[in-house]
Amino acid sequence: MQMKNKWLVALLGIALVGVNLHAKVMESSVATVNGKPVLASEYDAYLEGVIEQYQAVAPGVLQQPNAKDMLGREVLKELISKELLYQAAEEEKIQVKDSEVDNGINEIKTRFIIDEKTGKEDPAGADKRFNEALKKQGLTLKRYKEKIKKDVAVRKLMEQHLRATIKPVEEAEARALYDNVEIVLKNNTKKIKALEKKDPEALKEAQAIAAKLKQLTAEQVRVGHIYLAVTKDMKPEDIKKKEELAKQIKKELDGGMDFSAAVQKYTEDKASLTSGGDMILIKGIAPKEIDDKAFTLSVGKISAPIKTDVGFHIIKIKEKRAEKELEFQDIASELGQYLAQKRVQKSMGDYLEELRGKADIKITKTFADEPANAQTPADAPAKDVK
């Protein structure tokens, strides 16, 4: 089984926001794995990167009680798992070529093609932004290459392990899964009850997949989106200014201003700049205020400013798609990939548990919502972990 390059990019990419190898030998650690430290600086930088990601895509998670401790436990668990895999790769004497490291560097650099300040592509400035990111994290290029070399070795170790442990998915297996999903989609009460009695976990799996398919097959609309943010702590007069700006933008659009140009000029959703503000809305998923407009306006029409709890929105209807039904052949490949991914996750989970069982792991990190020596990642004892 070959792992895709995208997996490698995902593995290595977080290094620029999650790992600081420019540390002193005597630096404090949050854990040791077979005597090798997991550095506190590495943990702190990795956690900071994770929090930044949640702030960008799921800020509500950070509002939960003890959210930082919750994420911290997962980060610590992840770093321990990585160290276990690093050490396993060394034991297996996995070899990594310089060209493989260079390829990893080049793939990471592609993430810096977009200038975050302008939201536009700037290939010529990619190297500069890459080097600035290294400097911000206290990393030299040499240190970063060492990190990538270890990660490539882990990727090769995982490929080796998966080839030895995973068998291909048969069409009959994908068909059996589809049959379970179909009885949920058709709400066949009799068969649902029979499946629940025979295999409750299979029913839960089918229900989860059916819910996702309902979203994918539901009525959809592609819109252009201009967003002006409003926060809970914003003063009424500032909210009023945002509303007036939204009305002014609508006047400019009605006067002939190009919608994509308006997105570039006004939207505060910087993540959507590269797509010109385009997004796909699934009926019943977006806030009701937006949903009502998106699915009633005709293609080509632009909405008046729409107010929601998080701000003001102006949308342009670009394309609509009616609800559709899917047959087995339409999703056979995706179901096969899903089953294969389940096997990958189980195989790697079992492998990590095996490595943990043989390792000497000591955790010194404690969290604000627990006393010293309390249970930490994966319900493992805080001192000696087996």
Q: List domains and CATH numbers for the chain.
A: 5-165+339-385 (1.10.4030.10), 171-207 (no CATH), 220-321 (3.10.50.40)
Encoded amino acid at 28, one letter: S
Which pLDDT score, from 0 to 100, does residue 306 have? Answer: 96
The pTM (predicted TM-score) of the whole model is 0.63
Which pLDDT score, from 0 to 100, does residue 324 have? Answer: 85
| CA-based nearest residue to 322, from 304, 299, 290 | 299
29, 47, 149 from 130: Cα distances, Å: 28, 20, 18
Beta bridge partners of 229: 311
Contacts of 26 (CB under 8 A, 6+ apart): none
Is residue 262 within 8 A of residue 253, CB to CB? The reply is: yes
Which pLDDT score, from 0 to 100, does residue 6 have? Answer: 43
| Helix runs in the chain, H state only | 5-13, 15-18, 40-57, 67-91, 98-109, 126-136, 141-165, 171-185, 189-198, 200-217, 236-254, 259-266, 288-294, 328-358
Which pLDDT score, from 0 to 100, does residue 29 have? Answer: 93
Residue 278 tokens, joined: 């385009």
Taking only the tens of pLDDT, the chain with its 386 residues reads 444 444 344 444 444 444 444 444 456 999 999 999 999 988 998 899 899 889 888 888 888 888 999 999 999 999 999 999 999 999 999 999 999 999 999 999 998 998 888 878 888 898 999 999 888 877 889 989 998 999 999 999 999 999 999 999 999 999 999 999 999 999 999 999 999 999 999 999 999 999 989 888 889 999 999 999 999 889 999 999 999 999 999 999 999 999 999 999 999 987 777 777 898 898 888 889 999 999 999 999 999 999 999 999 999 999 999 988 889 999 999 999 999 999 999 999 999 999 999 999 999 999 886 654 444 444 443 334 44
Write the pLDDT tens digit of every residue in 5-62: 443 444 444 444 444 444 444 569 999 999 999 999 889 988 998 998 898 888 888 8
